[in-house]
Structure 1
Amino acid sequence: MPLPTLAAEQSEGLAVDMEALGALRQKAFAATNTGQFAEAEGYWTEILEVLPDNAAVLSNRGNSRVSQNKLDLAIADYNEAIRLMPEAPDPYLNRGAAWEGLQEWKKAIADYNHVLELDPQDPAAYNNRGNAEAGQEEWEKAIADYKQAADLASDFAIARANYAAALYQVGDIDESIRQMRNLIRRYPQFADMRAALTAVLWVQGNRGEAESNWFAAVGLDSRYKDLDWVANVRRWPPALVEALGRFLALES
């Protein structure tokens, strides 16, 4: 069940100016698209002053707060959205991601399980549950969920990337590399998999191809030079982080 969008409403007999609210909504999305999350939060708050019981707006403000690492405030928004629309899956999915940010893996998994009760074919819920399971180092469960997510949505590249990374963690190196190569063939500018393949190939001694992929990866996204970001924000599995660390140590 999708969240409702802005609709013609009245509050205490006062007609709502839907055109003005629609303009604020567009500004909020535009700010989000340019990474101005505090500004987006402000726009959503303005809308909520007029429509305090709009679950979609609450959930969107929660998303803007997650992007600023205001996780407790985001969870409060999702809780209220869930109270208003308990059958809508999005606030549970979003709250699960906030719980992950707090490393509350069991709470995150519970939210993703509920999403899958509402929609058993939701690929994002499978992928996110895999992330939370990986946080608990339950790698086989994570692998199964990543694969299910990728199988449900063939263009869900990050789910397939997570699957490849988790395979490397459990020692299925050949299949991990095969998945990485397939992703790069399909998405040549996929920095995440080029950086991952760099690490794996370097450890295997294939330095020429590793360096070629690295040149492409950092040209697309320089954050992969930061091992802390890779481990704690992108959240690669430990074995893959270690492999990249070995490459970075020798490269520097």
Structure 2
Amino acid sequence: MNLFRPLVIALLCLLCVTGWSLPAWAQSAAPDLSLQVVQDISELRQKAFTASQKGQFTEAETYWSQLIDYLPDEAALWSNRGNVRVSQNKLEEALADYNRAIALAPEQPDPYLNRGAALEGLGRWEDAIADYSQVLALNPDDAAAYNNRGNAQAGLGHWETALADYQKAADLDPKFAFARVNAALAEYQLGNADEAIRQFRSLTRRYPNFADARAALTAALWGQGQSGEAESNWVAVMGLDRRYRDLAWVSTVRRWPPAMVTALEKFLNL
């Protein structure tokens, strides 16, 4: 698995890091390198992973760039540098890295997934959908690709199509909490408030510290006149993640559906 697969990117920052080891397809080494250079590369890899894990993205970018200088044909290095560039909101530069990774290893799904997330950050929804669909052509059981494609479909306002992708992601990975909450959010946008609330409640029972589900449940319950339960959930949300007080963040970064944002706005205003 690649360095980190952005179910998220920095702009879609609620998707979890899923792995930090270099994928098997990236374990290449030039046969004519000296022992000292091989040792230098090994040390740089460790530094790059450590800096990335600690969120030291500027330093990590430097290390990945140095590794690319040593091994310019190793696709994973380009993809990993793209990831840390995305985390610094250097989206166009990240796209160039992903393009290079794909040119070097067109049969590998991770660079397409990563590039799709960067394209989402640029609002290039249809291009992102094409990349996620390519991931699924290579790996039909990739839950992250279904979830992310749902996000891109939502960006186009295609909520029924988005819901189908979210549900497929959740079916493939029942523990994929964000796919499940995204499905519930899409249900709410489509006017299925009761079903959305049922799913939000299920998620909060299973994941008590899942702020996104609790915040959505708060807004949906308030809209149904269930003010006591709504306020109780909101207290928990404020103890977990205070960003949900910021409607701009909820709308443009977390990218809740418009109906859900409106419901939360009504709760906050009252």
TM-score (norm 1): 0.94
How large is the RMSD of aligned CA atoms in angstroms?
Answer: 1.5
Structure 2 counterpart of 1:115: 135
Alpha-carbon distance in 1 for matches of 2:80, 2:65: 10
Select the residue among 33, 47, 64 that pairs with 1:27. 47
Aligned-partner SS, 2:68 = helix
CA contact (8 A) 2:29 2:71 kept: no
1:38–1:69 Cα change, 3 Å:
same
Structure with higher RCO (Cα < 8 A, 6+ apart) = 2
2:246 is equivalent to residue 221 of structure 1:
no
Which aligned runs of 4 or more in structure 1 are off by greater than 6 angstroms? none
2:117 is equivalent to residue 90 of structure 1:
no
2:174 is equivalent to residue 154 of structure 1:
yes
Q: CA deviation at 1:145?
A: 0.2
CA contact (8 A) 1:3 1:55 kept: no
Structure 2 counterpart of 1:67: 87
2:114 is equivalent to residue 100 of structure 1:
no
Alpha-carbon distance in 1 for matches of 2:53, 2:163: 31
Q: List runs of 5+ in structure 1 lacking aligned partners.
A: none
Deviates more, 1:15-24 or 1:42-51: 15-24
TM-score (norm 2): 0.88
Alpha-carbon distance in 2 for matches of 1:25, 1:212: 47
Q: CA deviation at 1:210?
A: 1.1
Q: How many residues align?
A: 248
- The one-letter code of the counterpart of 1:194 is R
- The one-letter code of the counterpart of 2:225 is G
Alpha-carbon distance in 2 for matches of 1:19, 1:148: 44
In percent, how many aligned pairs have the same letter? Answer: 62
1:224–1:30 Cα change, 3 Å:
farther
Alpha-carbon distance in 2 for matches of 1:195, 1:18: 50
- The one-letter code of the counterpart of 1:15 is S
Select the residue among 46, 70, 87 that pairs with 2:66. 46
Alpha-carbon distance in 1 for matches of 2:241, 2:42: 34
CA contact (8 A) 1:197 1:213 kept: yes
